[in-house]
């Protein structure tokens, strides 16, 4: 085990390609990805990860075909409903995304209810924090923080913006994971991952393994111990 105080953030890419390579519909890839997320959560707990943040659904993903979006929404309702397993792992659930009360927010009410219940039912857990980014975009988050400051009349500084992000207590990212052979950074935790190393994995998200996660954690450890 690596010990705690490691924040791993994952861009879970490649579900559709994973399915296509197997002659399956894209929805099958998303289902496999959701199942593997549960496996990665278990591995992260075993490896002593303190924070695991995953990019579940972006503000840009709403343009996908309606059937695919509906399927992903159902998977997230299921994900937030894994209370028994999360409790057994002592995992605390958090969520970041466009606030439900905002007119621009698009999270359906049944997913909102699942999110609220998961947060409430796991709030007393003291182990790893699993944060799911749903209806999330980093640029939207930063703009939201700036607008909050404008309305309050507070000066705009690095510190004041950080205090107005969706989850101000979310620590800096120690390593950012991007799967499926993609070597680019999406609109995910741009503020929080400043300076973090990026672990590019060839495996599509449904095939991302505990050994891949170990490699990412090792990269975070090497980077943190390297001289500036």
- Catalytic sites, residue numbers: 13, 61
In the three-class reduction of DSSP (H, G, I as helix; E, B as strand; rest coil), residue 75 is classed as: helix
CA atoms within 13 A on the CB side of 109: 0
Contacts of 65 (CB under 8 A, 6+ apart): none
Q: List residues bridging with 52 in a β-sheet.
A: 8, 130
CB neighbour list of residue 3: distance below 8 Å, 6 or more residues apart: 48
Distances (CA, A) of 165 to 11, 98, 161, 219: 19, 11, 7, 27
SS3 of 188, please?
A: coil
Q: How far apart are CA 132 and CA 224, in angstroms?
A: 25
**Cα–Cα separations (whole angstroms), residue 132 to 97, 115, 121, 156, 221:** 9, 9, 15, 27, 24
């Amino acid at each position: 085990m690596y010990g705690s105080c490691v924040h791993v953030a994952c861009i879970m890419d490649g579900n559709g390609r994973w399915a296509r390579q197997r002659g399956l519909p894209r929805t099958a890839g998303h289902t496999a990805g959701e199942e593997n997320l549960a496996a990665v959560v278990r591995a992260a707990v075993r490896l002593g990860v303190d924070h695991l943040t995953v990019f579940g659904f972006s503000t840009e993903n709403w343009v996908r075909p309606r059937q695919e979006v509906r399927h992903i929404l159902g998977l997230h309702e299921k994900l937030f409903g894994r209370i028994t397993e999360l409790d057994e792992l002592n995992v605390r659930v958090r969520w970041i995304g466009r606030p439900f009360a905002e007119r621009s927010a698009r999270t359906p009410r049944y997913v909102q209810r699942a999110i609220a219940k998961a947060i409430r039912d796991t709030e007393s857990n003291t182990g790893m924090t699993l944060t799911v980014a749903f209806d999330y975009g980093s640029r939207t988050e930063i703009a939201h923080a700036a607008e909050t400051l404008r309305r309050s009349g507070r000066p705009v500084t690095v510190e004041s913006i950080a205090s107005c992000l969706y989850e101000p207590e979310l620590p800096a990212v120690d390593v950012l994971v991007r799967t499926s052979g993609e070597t680019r950074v999406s609109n995910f935790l741009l503020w929080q991952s400043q300076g973090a190393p990026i672990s590019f994995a060839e495996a599509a998200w449904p095939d991302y393994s505990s050994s891949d996660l170990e490699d990412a954690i090792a990269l975070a450890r090497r980077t943190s111990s390297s001289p500036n």
